[in-house]
Amino acid sequence: MARAVEVWPLDRVRELDRRSTIVWASPSVAAMIHDTFPFTPWILGQPLPENARTLIAAGGGTLIDEAKRFVHDDAPQLRLIAIPSIWGSGAEAAPVVVLNRGAGKEIRMDDAYLPHARAVWPELAATIPRERALEACGDAWAHALEGFLSPLASPGVRDDAAEIMRGMLEAGVGNDARWFELSSRAAAMQARSSVGLIHGIAHTLEPAMNAAVWGHARLCATYMRPVFVYDRRAEKVPALLREHDLSADAITGAAESLFDAGHYRQSLPALESAWPSVLRDRCTRTNAVLVRQTDLQFFLDFA
């Protein structure tokens, strides 16, 4: 069983010792963070203050994952407190570390990478541009749905995933602060299960697409709808959802609200050329239903 990350109220973060706490914040929220927390600003690459004992990492998944790696590899004396500035990756709650290294990604997974604690700052939800918020909902939805449907999911994991998905359906998609907690729980849950074809496609296409525009979250949001329509053709998928009082139609509705047909069509040439790699991706191979070599046509026709 994975170690649970402590969940701290924001007041507890504010009360940390000023002399031994440093803050690394992404530029998008740095002003807000430094106005609120009276701690020493720091960024990766700077010398670490000798008396530093706690690092607050406030930002997106990339920043939090780099902070997890730094504490694990270079500064184990630090206690890491993660404050996500956007939901989706769930980096603040997952033992997975995804590092952008040159043209590729380095992925590590170990409970030792987990932050000591995470905190939700609800006001940050309003700082997220609408389009990015929707894409981030797609990333979180993909964790929850694929973690639930995975052939590796235990009954307990499925119960957790179902509860998370009910929360997602209730929250709707958009700039709602409830997504911080839903996303954290979805990421922690899928680490005890696996993900599937949405992630197999996203991981494979990311290096082939313009990274400035086509991030992981956009690919998840784009492919949630076609992959769910593909998966739910197998009777076991709606049956599993029914067993957990979840409506396949409601989930399809959520996927439709995240789907952008223009984005989907733009991505298809990359999907077509990368299909053999998609099939070999480890996430694809733990999809809810077996992905066949000839199934590319389904996705081409879906456009």
Partner 1 sequence: MTNDRDKLRELLLDVFLLSPDEFRFDLTREEIDTWDSLGVVSLAVGIHETFGYHMSPQEATSLRGIADVMTLLSSKGFDVGQSG
Note the residues at the interface with partner 1 (CB under 8 A). Answer: 151-152, 234, 236, 276, 279-280, 282, 285-293
C-beta of 20: minimal distance to partner 1 in Å? 43
C-alpha 188/C-alpha 89 separation (Å) is 10
* Smallest distance from partner 1 to CB 272, Å: 17
Please identify which residue in the block is written with the tokens 């456009």: 303
> Smallest distance from the beta carbon of 196 to partner 1, in angstroms?
11
| Least separation in angstroms between CB 238 and partner 1 | 15
- Smallest gap from Cβ 275 to partner 1, in A, equals 11
User: Rounded to an integer, what distance in angstroms lies between the CA atom of residue 147 and that of residue 101?
Assistant: 26
**Measured from the CB atom, is 144 or 288 closer to partner 1?**
288
